[in-house]
Structure 1
Amino acid sequence: MKKLISLILVTISLLIIQPASAAKIPTNAKKLIRHYKESIIGFEDNHIVFTDGTRMKWDDGIKNKSYQQLLDEPDLEDMFHDKYRKRKAQIPLSVNYDPGRIRVEPFFLKLYGESADKVKENLKEIIWCPKLVGQKIMVSTLYGADKKFEKISAELDKYPEFAPYLSKIAGTFNWRKIAGTNRLSMHSFGMTMDINTKFTHYWQWDCKCKNEDVVLGYNNSIPLKIVRVFEKHGFVWGGKWYHYDTMHFEYRPELM
Protein backbone atom coordinates (compact mmCIF):
# COMPACT_ATOMS: atom_id res chain seq x y z
CA MET A 1 0.00 0.00 0.00
CA LYS A 2 2.83 2.41 0.88
CA LYS A 3 4.48 1.75 -2.49
CA LEU A 4 1.17 2.40 -4.28
CA ILE A 5 0.66 5.67 -2.43
CA SER A 6 4.26 6.69 -3.19
CA LEU A 7 3.75 5.92 -6.89
CA ILE A 8 0.54 7.98 -6.97
CA LEU A 9 2.29 10.94 -5.30
CA VAL A 10 5.20 10.76 -7.74
CA THR A 11 2.78 10.66 -10.68
CA ILE A 12 0.89 13.69 -9.36
CA SER A 13 4.18 15.52 -8.82
CA LEU A 14 5.20 14.83 -12.38
CA LEU A 15 1.90 16.19 -13.68
CA ILE A 16 2.28 19.30 -11.58
CA ILE A 17 5.96 20.00 -12.20
CA GLN A 18 6.76 18.95 -15.71
CA PRO A 19 4.13 20.49 -18.04
CA ALA A 20 4.19 23.96 -16.50
CA SER A 21 7.96 24.27 -16.40
CA ALA A 22 9.29 21.95 -19.13
CA ALA A 23 10.11 24.82 -21.50
CA LYS A 24 12.14 26.53 -18.76
CA ILE A 25 14.18 23.52 -17.72
CA PRO A 26 17.88 24.06 -18.57
CA THR A 27 19.23 21.56 -21.08
CA ASN A 28 21.74 20.11 -18.65
CA ALA A 29 19.13 19.81 -15.89
CA LYS A 30 17.08 17.71 -18.31
CA LYS A 31 20.07 15.37 -18.57
CA LEU A 32 20.06 14.82 -14.81
CA ILE A 33 16.32 14.13 -14.89
CA ARG A 34 16.71 11.66 -17.77
CA HIS A 35 19.65 9.68 -16.41
CA TYR A 36 18.58 9.62 -12.76
CA LYS A 37 14.84 9.36 -13.26
CA GLU A 38 14.49 6.87 -10.40
CA SER A 39 15.40 9.69 -8.01
CA ILE A 40 14.58 12.95 -9.81
CA ILE A 41 11.08 13.86 -10.97
CA GLY A 42 11.51 17.36 -12.31
CA PHE A 43 12.68 20.94 -12.13
CA GLU A 44 10.92 23.92 -10.62
CA ASP A 45 11.90 27.42 -9.51
CA ASN A 46 15.64 26.91 -10.12
CA HIS A 47 15.64 23.60 -8.23
CA ILE A 48 15.97 19.94 -9.11
CA VAL A 49 13.05 18.10 -7.47
CA PHE A 50 13.61 14.62 -6.03
CA THR A 51 11.01 11.87 -5.72
CA ASP A 52 10.83 12.35 -1.94
CA GLY A 53 9.90 16.00 -2.43
CA THR A 54 13.25 17.48 -1.43
CA ARG A 55 14.89 20.06 -3.68
CA MET A 56 18.40 21.11 -4.63
CA LYS A 57 19.34 24.47 -6.12
CA TRP A 58 20.44 24.44 -9.76
CA ASP A 59 22.17 27.84 -10.07
CA ASP A 60 23.44 29.67 -6.99
CA GLY A 61 23.79 32.91 -8.96
CA ILE A 62 27.54 33.23 -8.40
CA LYS A 63 29.27 33.93 -11.70
CA ASN A 64 32.94 33.74 -12.72
CA LYS A 65 33.94 31.35 -9.97
CA SER A 66 37.62 30.60 -9.61
CA TYR A 67 38.77 27.08 -10.35
CA GLN A 68 39.08 26.31 -6.65
CA GLN A 69 35.57 27.65 -6.03
CA LEU A 70 34.25 25.36 -8.74
CA LEU A 71 35.82 22.40 -6.97
CA ASP A 72 34.91 23.39 -3.42
CA GLU A 73 31.64 25.34 -3.82
CA PRO A 74 29.92 24.16 -7.02
CA ASP A 75 26.23 24.29 -7.82
CA LEU A 76 24.55 21.70 -10.04
CA GLU A 77 24.97 23.89 -13.10
CA ASP A 78 28.74 24.03 -12.50
CA MET A 79 29.06 20.26 -12.95
CA PHE A 80 28.66 20.91 -16.69
CA HIS A 81 31.27 23.70 -16.71
CA ASP A 82 33.58 21.75 -19.04
CA LYS A 83 32.15 19.75 -21.92
CA TYR A 84 33.39 16.17 -22.00
CA ARG A 85 34.89 15.23 -25.36
CA LYS A 86 34.26 11.63 -26.36
CA ARG A 87 36.71 12.03 -29.22
CA LYS A 88 40.39 12.20 -28.36
CA ALA A 89 41.01 15.27 -26.22
CA GLN A 90 43.49 17.80 -27.54
CA ILE A 91 46.91 17.33 -25.98
CA PRO A 92 48.14 19.25 -24.08
CA LEU A 93 44.87 19.81 -22.26
CA SER A 94 43.76 23.34 -21.45
CA VAL A 95 44.68 24.47 -17.95
CA ASN A 96 42.04 23.29 -15.45
CA TYR A 97 39.95 21.57 -18.14
CA ASP A 98 38.49 18.82 -15.92
CA PRO A 99 35.10 17.65 -17.27
CA GLY A 100 33.46 15.57 -14.56
CA ARG A 101 35.84 16.56 -11.79
CA ILE A 102 33.54 19.36 -10.61
CA ARG A 103 30.94 17.58 -8.48
CA VAL A 104 28.21 18.59 -6.04
CA GLU A 105 28.82 16.15 -3.22
CA PRO A 106 25.32 16.42 -1.66
CA PHE A 107 23.82 15.49 -5.03
CA PHE A 108 25.69 12.19 -5.20
CA LEU A 109 25.05 11.50 -1.53
CA LYS A 110 21.36 11.90 -2.34
CA LEU A 111 21.60 9.55 -5.33
CA TYR A 112 23.78 6.76 -3.97
CA GLY A 113 23.61 6.97 -0.18
CA GLU A 114 24.61 9.33 2.61
CA SER A 115 26.93 6.87 4.38
CA ALA A 116 29.09 3.88 3.58
CA ASP A 117 26.44 1.57 5.03
CA LYS A 118 23.70 3.12 2.86
CA VAL A 119 25.83 2.74 -0.27
CA LYS A 120 26.60 -0.87 0.63
CA GLU A 121 22.87 -1.67 0.61
CA ASN A 122 22.93 -1.28 -3.18
CA LEU A 123 26.25 -2.92 -4.02
CA LYS A 124 26.55 -6.08 -6.09
CA GLU A 125 29.48 -8.41 -6.65
CA ILE A 126 30.42 -9.03 -10.26
CA ILE A 127 33.31 -10.94 -11.84
CA TRP A 128 35.46 -8.53 -13.80
CA CYS A 129 36.60 -9.89 -17.19
CA PRO A 130 36.03 -13.56 -16.26
CA LYS A 131 38.27 -14.93 -19.03
CA LEU A 132 41.21 -12.54 -18.73
CA VAL A 133 41.10 -11.49 -15.08
CA GLY A 134 38.37 -13.12 -12.98
CA GLN A 135 38.58 -10.54 -10.19
CA LYS A 136 35.60 -9.98 -7.88
CA ILE A 137 34.56 -6.33 -7.58
CA MET A 138 31.71 -4.53 -5.82
CA VAL A 139 29.67 -2.00 -7.81
CA SER A 140 26.44 -0.08 -7.36
CA THR A 141 23.20 -1.42 -8.82
CA LEU A 142 21.67 2.07 -8.91
CA TYR A 143 20.87 3.76 -12.25
CA GLY A 144 22.03 0.67 -14.12
CA ALA A 145 25.68 1.13 -13.16
CA ASP A 146 26.23 -2.60 -12.49
CA LYS A 147 24.82 -3.51 -15.89
CA LYS A 148 27.17 -1.03 -17.55
CA PHE A 149 30.14 -2.55 -15.71
CA GLU A 150 29.05 -6.01 -16.87
CA LYS A 151 28.78 -4.87 -20.50
CA ILE A 152 32.21 -3.23 -20.36
CA SER A 153 33.65 -6.35 -18.77
CA ALA A 154 32.19 -8.61 -21.46
CA GLU A 155 33.47 -6.41 -24.25
CA LEU A 156 37.00 -5.95 -22.90
CA ASP A 157 37.22 -9.68 -22.15
CA LYS A 158 37.55 -10.23 -25.90
CA TYR A 159 40.94 -8.47 -26.06
CA PRO A 160 43.71 -10.55 -24.44
CA GLU A 161 46.24 -7.83 -25.32
CA PHE A 162 44.55 -5.61 -22.74
CA ALA A 163 44.83 -8.11 -19.87
CA PRO A 164 47.81 -6.37 -18.19
CA TYR A 165 45.86 -3.10 -17.97
CA LEU A 166 42.63 -4.74 -16.78
CA SER A 167 44.08 -7.05 -14.14
CA LYS A 168 44.72 -6.05 -10.52
CA ILE A 169 41.85 -3.57 -10.48
CA ALA A 170 42.90 -0.89 -7.99
CA GLY A 171 39.45 -0.18 -6.68
CA THR A 172 35.72 0.30 -7.17
CA PHE A 173 33.81 0.92 -3.90
CA ASN A 174 35.90 2.63 -1.22
CA TRP A 175 34.33 5.23 1.08
CA ARG A 176 37.11 7.83 1.48
CA LYS A 177 38.23 11.39 0.85
CA ILE A 178 40.24 12.43 -2.21
CA ALA A 179 43.90 12.68 -1.22
CA GLY A 180 44.84 16.17 -0.14
CA THR A 181 41.23 17.44 0.00
CA ASN A 182 38.09 17.38 2.12
CA ARG A 183 36.05 16.23 -0.88
CA LEU A 184 34.54 12.77 -0.88
CA SER A 185 35.94 10.44 -3.54
CA MET A 186 33.49 9.13 -6.12
CA HIS A 187 34.74 5.67 -5.22
CA SER A 188 32.55 6.12 -2.16
CA PHE A 189 29.51 5.44 -4.33
CA GLY A 190 30.56 2.23 -6.09
CA MET A 191 30.22 3.65 -9.61
CA THR A 192 33.90 4.26 -10.27
CA MET A 193 36.81 2.03 -11.24
CA ASP A 194 40.58 2.43 -11.06
CA ILE A 195 42.38 -0.01 -13.33
CA ASN A 196 45.92 -1.38 -12.87
CA THR A 197 48.06 1.40 -11.39
CA LYS A 198 51.22 -0.15 -12.87
CA PHE A 199 50.32 1.33 -16.25
CA THR A 200 48.67 4.55 -15.14
CA HIS A 201 49.62 8.14 -14.40
CA TYR A 202 48.21 10.49 -11.79
CA TRP A 203 49.01 14.19 -11.58
CA GLN A 204 49.76 14.08 -7.84
CA TRP A 205 52.23 11.24 -8.34
CA ASP A 206 53.99 13.02 -11.19
CA CYS A 207 54.27 16.45 -9.56
CA LYS A 208 54.85 14.89 -6.12
CA CYS A 209 52.42 17.42 -4.73
CA LYS A 210 48.75 18.02 -3.93
CA ASN A 211 48.63 21.66 -5.07
CA GLU A 212 45.74 21.96 -7.54
CA ASP A 213 47.23 25.21 -8.92
CA VAL A 214 50.40 23.48 -10.05
CA VAL A 215 51.45 23.72 -13.71
CA LEU A 216 51.19 20.24 -15.16
CA GLY A 217 52.43 18.33 -18.16
CA TYR A 218 50.63 15.19 -19.32
CA ASN A 219 51.32 11.45 -19.25
CA ASN A 220 49.27 8.46 -20.41
CA SER A 221 49.93 4.80 -21.19
CA ILE A 222 46.34 3.51 -21.35
CA PRO A 223 45.25 2.33 -24.85
CA LEU A 224 42.49 4.59 -26.12
CA LYS A 225 40.51 1.56 -27.29
CA ILE A 226 39.92 0.71 -23.61
CA VAL A 227 38.81 4.29 -23.02
CA ARG A 228 36.32 4.18 -25.88
CA VAL A 229 34.66 1.05 -24.47
CA PHE A 230 34.10 2.76 -21.12
CA GLU A 231 32.89 5.96 -22.77
CA LYS A 232 30.39 4.05 -24.89
CA HIS A 233 28.69 2.95 -21.68
CA GLY A 234 28.54 6.34 -19.98
CA PHE A 235 31.89 6.57 -18.16
CA VAL A 236 34.16 9.61 -18.18
CA TRP A 237 37.90 8.99 -18.17
CA GLY A 238 40.29 10.85 -15.87
CA GLY A 239 42.85 10.87 -18.67
CA LYS A 240 40.83 13.67 -20.26
CA TRP A 241 41.42 15.97 -17.30
CA TYR A 242 44.15 18.58 -16.95
CA HIS A 243 44.54 17.09 -13.46
CA TYR A 244 44.92 13.71 -15.13
CA ASP A 245 44.09 10.41 -13.46
CA THR A 246 44.48 7.85 -16.21
CA MET A 247 43.49 4.84 -14.10
CA HIS A 248 40.12 6.43 -13.30
CA PHE A 249 36.75 5.69 -14.96
CA GLU A 250 33.57 7.17 -13.48
CA TYR A 251 29.92 6.49 -14.37
CA ARG A 252 28.57 9.91 -15.36
CA PRO A 253 26.06 9.33 -18.18
CA GLU A 254 24.74 12.90 -17.88
CA LEU A 255 28.06 14.22 -19.20
CA MET A 256 28.33 11.99 -22.26
Structure 2
Amino acid sequence: MKRFLILLFIFQNVFPQEIPLNVQKLMKVYPNQIVGYKENKIIFSDKSTLIYDDFKNKNNQELIDNPDIEDQFRFVYSKINKNSMPKKDPGRIRNEVFFKKIYGNSKSEVESKLVDIIWCPKLVHQKIKVTTVNDIDKIVTKLSTELDQHPEFQKYIQNIGGTFNWRKISGTNRLSMHSFGMTLDINIKKSNYWQWDCKCTNENATLSYRNQIPLKLVAIFEKYGFIWGGNWKHYDTMHFEFRPELLN
Protein backbone atom coordinates (compact mmCIF):
# COMPACT_ATOMS: atom_id res chain seq x y z
CA MET A 1 0.00 0.00 0.00
CA LYS A 2 2.81 2.39 0.88
CA ARG A 3 4.45 1.77 -2.48
CA PHE A 4 1.12 2.38 -4.25
CA LEU A 5 0.65 5.71 -2.48
CA ILE A 6 4.16 6.79 -3.41
CA LEU A 7 3.56 5.89 -7.06
CA LEU A 8 0.20 7.69 -7.00
CA PHE A 9 1.85 10.82 -5.59
CA ILE A 10 4.54 10.73 -8.28
CA PHE A 11 1.95 10.19 -11.03
CA GLN A 12 -0.21 13.11 -9.87
CA ASN A 13 2.74 15.46 -9.78
CA VAL A 14 4.47 14.32 -12.96
CA PHE A 15 1.22 13.98 -14.90
CA PRO A 16 -1.10 16.69 -13.57
CA GLN A 17 -4.82 16.43 -14.23
CA GLU A 18 -5.71 17.56 -17.73
CA ILE A 19 -8.09 20.50 -17.80
CA PRO A 20 -11.04 19.85 -20.17
CA LEU A 21 -11.02 22.03 -23.28
CA ASN A 22 -14.33 23.69 -22.39
CA VAL A 23 -13.04 24.56 -18.92
CA GLN A 24 -10.00 26.13 -20.56
CA LYS A 25 -12.37 28.27 -22.63
CA LEU A 26 -14.18 29.39 -19.48
CA MET A 27 -10.91 30.25 -17.75
CA LYS A 28 -9.86 32.30 -20.78
CA VAL A 29 -12.99 34.44 -21.04
CA TYR A 30 -13.73 34.79 -17.30
CA PRO A 31 -10.15 35.19 -15.98
CA ASN A 32 -11.07 37.30 -12.96
CA GLN A 33 -13.56 34.77 -11.65
CA ILE A 34 -12.34 31.29 -12.69
CA VAL A 35 -8.84 30.53 -11.47
CA GLY A 36 -8.50 26.77 -11.67
CA TYR A 37 -9.85 23.27 -12.07
CA LYS A 38 -9.32 20.19 -9.91
CA GLU A 39 -11.08 16.88 -9.39
CA ASN A 40 -14.01 17.73 -11.69
CA LYS A 41 -14.58 21.08 -10.01
CA ILE A 42 -14.20 24.61 -11.32
CA ILE A 43 -12.38 26.81 -8.81
CA PHE A 44 -13.41 30.46 -8.42
CA SER A 45 -11.35 33.38 -7.18
CA ASP A 46 -13.15 33.33 -3.81
CA LYS A 47 -11.94 29.68 -3.43
CA SER A 48 -15.46 28.29 -3.83
CA THR A 49 -16.05 25.48 -6.34
CA LEU A 50 -18.75 24.09 -8.62
CA ILE A 51 -19.05 20.60 -10.07
CA TYR A 52 -18.20 20.67 -13.77
CA ASP A 53 -19.79 17.39 -14.89
CA ASP A 54 -22.44 15.50 -12.89
CA PHE A 55 -22.31 12.59 -15.40
CA LYS A 56 -26.11 12.36 -15.57
CA ASN A 57 -28.03 11.50 -18.71
CA LYS A 58 -30.68 14.17 -19.27
CA ASN A 59 -33.54 14.72 -21.65
CA ASN A 60 -34.08 18.14 -23.23
CA GLN A 61 -36.28 19.41 -20.41
CA GLU A 62 -33.79 18.27 -17.75
CA LEU A 63 -30.98 19.99 -19.65
CA ILE A 64 -32.92 23.24 -19.53
CA ASP A 65 -34.07 22.91 -15.92
CA ASN A 66 -31.09 21.33 -14.18
CA PRO A 67 -27.87 21.55 -16.22
CA ASP A 68 -24.35 21.24 -14.93
CA ILE A 69 -21.60 23.44 -16.37
CA GLU A 70 -20.53 20.81 -18.88
CA ASP A 71 -24.08 20.70 -20.24
CA GLN A 72 -23.75 24.32 -21.34
CA PHE A 73 -21.53 23.06 -24.15
CA ARG A 74 -23.85 20.20 -25.13
CA PHE A 75 -24.86 21.80 -28.43
CA VAL A 76 -22.26 23.43 -30.64
CA TYR A 77 -22.95 27.05 -31.56
CA SER A 78 -22.49 27.40 -35.32
CA LYS A 79 -23.21 30.51 -37.32
CA ILE A 80 -26.62 30.24 -38.94
CA ASN A 81 -27.30 30.72 -42.62
CA LYS A 82 -30.55 31.11 -44.54
CA ASN A 83 -30.42 27.50 -45.73
CA SER A 84 -29.93 25.85 -42.34
CA MET A 85 -32.55 26.56 -39.73
CA PRO A 86 -31.59 25.70 -36.12
CA LYS A 87 -32.50 22.28 -34.74
CA LYS A 88 -30.93 22.66 -31.28
CA ASP A 89 -30.57 25.39 -28.64
CA PRO A 90 -26.82 26.15 -28.38
CA GLY A 91 -26.29 28.50 -25.45
CA ARG A 92 -29.83 28.27 -24.12
CA ILE A 93 -28.71 25.68 -21.54
CA ARG A 94 -27.40 27.62 -18.56
CA ASN A 95 -26.30 26.72 -15.04
CA GLU A 96 -27.77 29.57 -12.99
CA VAL A 97 -25.35 29.22 -10.07
CA PHE A 98 -22.42 29.52 -12.46
CA PHE A 99 -23.61 32.86 -13.83
CA LYS A 100 -24.34 34.14 -10.34
CA LYS A 101 -20.71 33.40 -9.47
CA ILE A 102 -19.55 35.40 -12.50
CA TYR A 103 -21.88 38.41 -12.37
CA GLY A 104 -23.42 38.61 -8.90
CA ASN A 105 -25.55 36.49 -6.60
CA SER A 106 -28.35 39.02 -6.13
CA LYS A 107 -30.00 41.96 -7.83
CA SER A 108 -28.13 44.43 -5.63
CA GLU A 109 -24.78 42.74 -6.23
CA VAL A 110 -25.26 42.84 -10.00
CA GLU A 111 -26.48 46.44 -9.85
CA SER A 112 -23.32 47.49 -8.02
CA LYS A 113 -21.33 46.51 -11.13
CA LEU A 114 -23.51 48.24 -13.73
CA VAL A 115 -22.74 51.43 -15.65
CA ASP A 116 -24.66 53.53 -18.16
CA ILE A 117 -23.45 53.77 -21.74
CA ILE A 118 -24.93 55.50 -24.76
CA TRP A 119 -25.96 52.89 -27.32
CA CYS A 120 -25.10 53.86 -30.91
CA PRO A 121 -24.72 57.62 -30.26
CA LYS A 122 -25.21 58.59 -33.92
CA LEU A 123 -28.02 56.27 -35.01
CA VAL A 124 -29.91 55.66 -31.76
CA HIS A 125 -28.47 57.56 -28.78
CA GLN A 126 -30.21 55.46 -26.13
CA LYS A 127 -28.91 55.06 -22.57
CA ILE A 128 -28.54 51.42 -21.48
CA LYS A 129 -27.12 49.65 -18.43
CA VAL A 130 -24.45 46.97 -18.79
CA THR A 131 -22.09 45.19 -16.42
CA THR A 132 -18.44 46.10 -15.98
CA VAL A 133 -17.52 42.47 -15.22
CA ASN A 134 -14.59 41.44 -17.45
CA ASP A 135 -14.87 44.81 -19.25
CA ILE A 136 -18.17 43.92 -20.90
CA ASP A 137 -19.14 47.61 -20.81
CA LYS A 138 -16.08 48.39 -22.95
CA ILE A 139 -16.90 45.53 -25.32
CA VAL A 140 -20.48 46.77 -25.74
CA THR A 141 -19.14 50.27 -26.39
CA LYS A 142 -16.93 48.92 -29.20
CA LEU A 143 -19.87 46.95 -30.59
CA SER A 144 -22.01 50.08 -30.46
CA THR A 145 -19.35 52.12 -32.26
CA GLU A 146 -19.18 49.62 -35.12
CA LEU A 147 -22.95 49.38 -35.46
CA ASP A 148 -23.07 53.18 -35.66
CA GLN A 149 -21.35 52.83 -39.05
CA HIS A 150 -24.27 50.83 -40.48
CA PRO A 151 -27.35 53.01 -41.00
CA GLU A 152 -28.96 50.10 -42.88
CA PHE A 153 -29.37 48.39 -39.49
CA GLN A 154 -30.85 51.38 -37.68
CA LYS A 155 -34.43 50.08 -37.64
CA TYR A 156 -33.26 46.86 -35.95
CA ILE A 157 -30.96 48.32 -33.30
CA GLN A 158 -33.15 51.23 -32.16
CA ASN A 159 -35.67 51.02 -29.32
CA ILE A 160 -33.57 48.53 -27.38
CA GLY A 161 -36.02 46.10 -25.79
CA GLY A 162 -33.98 45.45 -22.67
CA THR A 163 -30.58 45.08 -21.04
CA PHE A 164 -30.45 44.67 -17.24
CA ASN A 165 -33.64 43.36 -15.65
CA TRP A 166 -33.49 40.96 -12.69
CA ARG A 167 -36.41 38.65 -13.48
CA LYS A 168 -37.54 35.13 -14.29
CA ILE A 169 -37.97 33.92 -17.88
CA SER A 170 -41.65 34.08 -18.77
CA GLY A 171 -43.47 30.84 -17.95
CA THR A 172 -40.51 29.37 -16.03
CA ASN A 173 -38.69 29.45 -12.69
CA ARG A 174 -35.38 30.09 -14.44
CA LEU A 175 -33.57 33.39 -13.99
CA SER A 176 -33.27 35.41 -17.20
CA MET A 177 -29.79 36.25 -18.46
CA HIS A 178 -30.98 39.86 -18.46
CA SER A 179 -30.53 39.62 -14.70
CA PHE A 180 -26.76 39.88 -15.17
CA GLY A 181 -26.39 42.98 -17.36
CA MET A 182 -24.67 41.11 -20.21
CA THR A 183 -27.63 40.66 -22.55
CA LEU A 184 -29.28 42.96 -25.09
CA ASP A 185 -32.68 42.71 -26.73
CA ILE A 186 -32.84 44.79 -29.88
CA ASN A 187 -35.99 46.27 -31.45
CA ILE A 188 -38.95 44.10 -30.42
CA LYS A 189 -40.99 45.29 -33.41
CA LYS A 190 -38.50 43.66 -35.77
CA SER A 191 -38.16 40.45 -33.78
CA ASN A 192 -39.74 37.04 -33.31
CA TYR A 193 -39.99 34.93 -30.16
CA TRP A 194 -41.20 31.32 -30.14
CA GLN A 195 -43.57 31.78 -27.19
CA TRP A 196 -45.27 34.72 -28.90
CA ASP A 197 -45.62 32.88 -32.18
CA CYS A 198 -46.95 29.61 -30.78
CA LYS A 199 -48.88 31.39 -28.01
CA CYS A 200 -47.56 28.80 -25.57
CA THR A 201 -44.70 27.96 -23.19
CA ASN A 202 -44.54 24.27 -24.07
CA GLU A 203 -40.92 23.30 -24.82
CA ASN A 204 -42.19 20.37 -26.91
CA ALA A 205 -44.49 22.44 -29.13
CA THR A 206 -44.05 22.18 -32.89
CA LEU A 207 -42.45 25.44 -34.00
CA SER A 208 -42.20 27.17 -37.36
CA TYR A 209 -39.00 29.19 -37.35
CA ARG A 210 -39.38 32.93 -38.02
CA ASN A 211 -36.79 35.68 -38.29
CA GLN A 212 -36.50 39.26 -39.57
CA ILE A 213 -32.97 40.09 -38.35
CA PRO A 214 -30.25 40.34 -41.09
CA LEU A 215 -27.50 37.76 -40.63
CA LYS A 216 -24.87 40.41 -41.38
CA LEU A 217 -26.07 42.26 -38.28
CA VAL A 218 -25.86 39.03 -36.27
CA ALA A 219 -22.28 38.52 -37.46
CA ILE A 220 -21.23 41.87 -35.95
CA PHE A 221 -22.63 40.89 -32.56
CA GLU A 222 -20.87 37.51 -32.76
CA LYS A 223 -17.59 39.28 -33.55
CA TYR A 224 -17.75 40.82 -30.06
CA GLY A 225 -18.63 37.60 -28.22
CA PHE A 226 -22.43 37.67 -28.31
CA ILE A 227 -24.44 34.61 -29.26
CA TRP A 228 -27.81 35.09 -30.96
CA GLY A 229 -31.15 33.76 -29.76
CA GLY A 230 -32.19 33.39 -33.38
CA ASN A 231 -29.71 30.54 -33.53
CA TRP A 232 -32.01 28.42 -31.38
CA LYS A 233 -34.81 26.06 -32.30
CA HIS A 234 -36.72 27.91 -29.54
CA TYR A 235 -35.89 31.16 -31.27
CA ASP A 236 -35.63 34.60 -29.67
CA THR A 237 -34.38 36.77 -32.50
CA MET A 238 -34.11 40.01 -30.55
CA HIS A 239 -31.79 38.38 -27.99
CA PHE A 240 -28.00 38.73 -27.88
CA GLU A 241 -26.08 37.29 -24.92
CA PHE A 242 -22.38 37.62 -24.05
CA ARG A 243 -21.12 34.02 -24.20
CA PRO A 244 -17.69 34.15 -25.89
CA GLU A 245 -16.79 30.69 -24.62
CA LEU A 246 -19.29 29.28 -27.14
CA LEU A 247 -17.75 31.18 -30.05
CA ASN A 248 -14.13 30.11 -29.50
Contact between 2:80 and 2:231, CA under 8 Å: does it hold in 1? no
SS of 2:136 mapped into structure 1: helix
Contact between 1:126 and 1:139, CA under 8 Å: does it hold in 2? yes
Distance 1:31 1:229 in 2: 21
Contact between 1:89 and 1:240, CA under 8 Å: does it hold in 2? no
Partner residue in 2 for 1:201: 192
Q: Does residue 41 in structure 1 map to residue 35 in structure 2?
A: yes
Q: How many residues of Structure 1 are paired with residues of Structure 2 in the alignment?
A: 235
Relative to structure 1, is the Cα distance of residues 164 and 75 closer, same or farther in structure 2, using a 3 angstrom cutoff?
A: same
- The amino acid across from 2:169 in the alignment is I
Partner residue in 2 for 1:192: 183
SS of 1:43 mapped into structure 2: strand
SS of 1:24 mapped into structure 2: coil
Distance 2:228 2:147 in 1: 16
Q: Does residue 152 in structure 1 map to residue 146 in structure 2?
A: no
Structure 2, unmatched stretches of 5+, are: 1-12
Contact between 2:211 and 2:237, CA under 8 Å: does it hold in 1? yes
- The amino acid across from 2:52 in the alignment is W
CA offset digits 1:96-132 (Å, max 9, x no partner): x001100000000111011111001110100000000
Q: Does residue 133 in structure 1 map to residue 133 in structure 2?
A: no
SS of 1:136 mapped into structure 2: strand
Distance 2:154 2:14 in 1: 52
Structure 1, unmatched stretches of 5+, are: 1-18
- The amino acid across from 1:88 in the alignment is N
Distance 2:234 2:141 in 1: 28
Relative to structure 1, is the Cα distance of residues 169 and 29 closer, same or farther in structure 2, using a 3 angstrom cutoff?
A: same
**TM-score normalised over the length of structure 1:** 0.89
Relative to structure 1, is the Cα distance of residues 105 and 153 closer, same or farther in structure 2, using a 3 angstrom cutoff?
A: same
Distance 2:17 2:146 in 1: 39
Contact between 1:28 and 1:80, CA under 8 Å: does it hold in 2? yes
Contact between 1:237 and 1:246, CA under 8 Å: does it hold in 2? yes
Distance 1:215 1:221 in 2: 20
Let me know the Cα RMSD of the aligned residues.
1.4
Partner residue in 2 for 1:51: 45
- The amino acid across from 1:83 in the alignment is V
- The amino acid across from 1:73 in the alignment is N
Relative to structure 1, is the Cα distance of residues 61 and 124 closer, same or farther in structure 2, using a 3 angstrom cutoff?
A: same
Relative to structure 1, is the Cα distance of residues 112 and 20 closer, same or farther in structure 2, using a 3 angstrom cutoff?
A: farther
Between Structure 1 and Structure 2, whose CA radius of gyration is higher?
Answer: 2
Pairing of 1:7-46 with structure 2 (within 5 A): 24-46=18-40
CA offset digits 1:218-255 (Å, max 9, x no partner): 00001111100000010000000000000000000111
Distance 2:16 2:220 in 1: 33
Contact between 2:80 and 2:86, CA under 8 Å: does it hold in 1? no
Q: Does residue 70 in structure 1 map to residue 86 in structure 2?
A: no
Q: Does residue 124 in structure 1 map to residue 118 in structure 2?
A: no
SS of 1:108 mapped into structure 2: helix
CA offset digits 1:107-160 (Å, max 9, x no partner): 001110111110011101000000000000000010121111111100010111
Relative to structure 1, is the Cα distance of residues 188 and 60 closer, same or farther in structure 2, using a 3 angstrom cutoff?
A: same
SS of 2:156 mapped into structure 1: helix
SS of 2:130 mapped into structure 1: strand
SS of 2:169 mapped into structure 1: coil
Contact between 1:126 and 1:138, CA under 8 Å: does it hold in 2? yes
SS of 1:228 mapped into structure 2: helix
- The amino acid across from 1:51 in the alignment is S
CA offset digits 1:58-102 (Å, max 9, x no partner): 010112x100000111001000000001353753322xx001100
Partner residue in 1 for 2:160: 169
Relative to structure 1, is the Cα distance of residues 47 and 170 closer, same or farther in structure 2, using a 3 angstrom cutoff?
A: same
